[in-house]
A and B are shown apart, each in its own frame.
Chain A
Amino acid sequence: MSLRQPPLAAAHADSGATFTDFGGWEMPVEFDSIRAEHESVRESVGRFDVSHMGQVTVGGPDAERLTNRLVTNDVADLDPGESCYAAIPDESGVMLDDTIVYRLPPGWPDDSDFLFIPNAGHDAEMTDRWTSHRDDWDFEATVENRTESFAMVALQGRDARELLAPETDADLSDLGRYETAMADVAGVETLVARTGYTGEGGYELLCPWDDAETVWAALECQPCGLGARDTLRLEMGFLLSGQDFDPDDEPRNPYEAGIGFAVALDHEFVGRDALERVDAEGPDERLRGIKLIDRGVPRHGYAVTTADGDPLGTVTSGTMSPTLGAGIALAYLPTERVDPGDLVRVEIRGEPKKARITTTPFLDR
């Protein structure tokens, strides 16, 4: 199977990026150094090509009803130009993917009402999920996979606004968190969203595929790859679909994954009844932050144990935090046995390394 390429592939290759296969896409993993890219975002601003993220639009009289029945958050509460984070669960409450759902702002160029962003490689599956449920429920809605019609550039960091402002007619001071507006960016009709996945302020810019280079080039700052995107999201304890949860390899519900805030049980959706039971009883395991006291780098698949070596769980994501200078990790651990503040061990190449359970985010943001 050949890899999908973002519209900026040639530009990235020219700038010396190294690439990796991620969700079926050949994406830049590193431009200069993961540490330098990471620090740019934490200290000023960086730009990411996130065109591997899916884009699915939903329109028609039942667009809201259809979308609302397939995600955990209540999208009926969104005004045009607002968005929310949500999980997409199956009937048993297991997360298939997580997503941002946008109710499209005035000026969006067609009659779609909603846009949601499945993770890399999930776009076809989620489009099918929406269409098949639409047919089962006999709803009137159009569902379109637009992943290869749109590019997405994330501009993240405290200086993002200053960098974007001269290139756009959008009133950025008026744009709240999770709000969007249609605007001109470097002459390109763009959906400007005040969202992101780094823990810093910033924007995600959705523009036509063929105009990606114009937008990218106008936002001159440190280019960042998936390597820095991973260390940045992990410092915030943000989930990575397919790794921190996965219907096959790591089946988890939103309460286990620590995103109960994105579940609105007071609306009807697939998986609601199962999740109501989990919420009432409390999950048996919960995703916890782990910060290493000993030196070492925790990684996916490493065992987490008590001080005596009793198994507690397995690391789903781990890295050396560039900001903290310490190893950090996420792992599902039994709620009855482990609380924040407890000391545990992470087994690295057979050596138990001392670590402490923490609440996430690992950084104050």
Chain B
Amino acid sequence: MSFTVPDDLRYLDSHEWVRVTDDSARIGISDFAQDELGDVVFVDLPSEGDDLTAGDDFGVVESIKAVSDIYSPVSGTVTAVNDDLADRPELINEAPYGDGWLIEVDLDDENELDDLLSAADYEDQIA
């Protein structure tokens, strides 16, 4: 089975991705992660204005069979939360890099991005 790993994203080894545009960063979980979890039925996300620290857990994604902590690839302040997931958590299964995104943050330090995995490195990890 092969999984989608978009080139333009950076990854954590715990299967979160971050997409940086200007100084905002969108965070989600990878195609591999959603497949491992199976049907996502619930998400617990922070609120706008909450501060995140790179490497710390900031929420939970639950499937029927498992509860999984999600970790922040970067430090920053939450500027947006994907409210659609409250009613349609299955968006994470359907479009993990699209409508199934989790949160957006205002980055504290862009240099943190250098510590993350490239698409090629992440692909090696899940191979």
Contacts and interface: CB of A to CB of B under 8 A. Distances in A.
B57 to A, nearest CB: 11
A33 B42 CA distance: 16
A97 interface: no
A227 B64 CA distance: 8
Interface residues of A, number: 16
B92 to A, nearest CB: 13
Contacts of B38: 30, 33-34, 227
A166 interface: no
A16 B38 CA distance: 14
Interface string B21-62: 000000000000000001101101000000000000000101
A320 B41 contact: yes
A198 interface: no
Interface in A281-299: 295-297, 299
B64 A322 contact: yes
Nearest to B41: A320
A34 B62 contact: no
A299 B39 contact: no
A319 B93 CA distance: 18
A320 B42 contact: yes
Contact size range, B: 10 to 19
Interface centre among A35, A299, A349 (most CB of B within 10 A): A35
A29 B44 contact: no
A231 interface: yes
Contact of A34 (B42, B60, B64, B67): B64
A16 to B, nearest CB: 7
B39 A33 contact: yes
Nearest to B42: A297
B65 A29 contact: yes
Contacts of A34: 38-39, 63-65
Interface of A: 16, 29-30, 33-35, 227, 231, 295-297, 299, 319-320, 322, 349
- 9 closest pairs, A vs B, by CB? A320-B41, A35-B39, A34-B64, A297-B62, A297-B42, A33-B39, A227-B65, A34-B39, A320-B64
16 contacts: A30-B38, A30-B65, A33-B93, A34-B39, A34-B63, A34-B64, A227-B64, A297-B42, A297-B62, A299-B67, A319-B64, A320-B42, A322-B39, A322-B64, A349-B44, A349-B60
Interface of B: 1, 38-39, 41-42, 44, 60, 62-65, 67, 86, 93
